[in-house]
Amino acid sequence: MAHSGNSPQVLNRKQYEKELARLQEELARLQEWIVHAGLRVAVLFEGRDTAGKGGVIKRISHPLRADPLEA
């Protein structure tokens, strides 16, 4: 999603849900590739305690399989 200037683009609810679904689908494909290739990945989220990292992690990872090696 392109935006002008240095300020982030504000998305309405419909745009947000559409973009989130697109990114979750891409992340699921990445997970499949990682499992197929036999790789291991670590993802770090940096920020203050009240920065909302937990909510972001839950929202992004919700559609992923918890243990892809057993699937």
pLDDT higher at 35 or 65: 35
Pairwise CA distance, residues 19 & 9, whole Å: 12
pLDDT tens, residue by residue, 5-64: 677 788 899 998 999 889 888 988 998 999 899 998 888 878 777 777 888 778 777 777
28 contact partners, CB below 8 Å, separation of at least 6:
63, 64
Q: Domain extents for the chain?
A: 13-65
Pair 57, 45: CB distance under 8 Å = yes
Residue 70: the pLDDT is 54
- Name the token pair of 2: 């392109």
Q: What does the mean pLDDT of the chain come to?
A: 80
Query: Whole-model pTM?
Result: 0.59
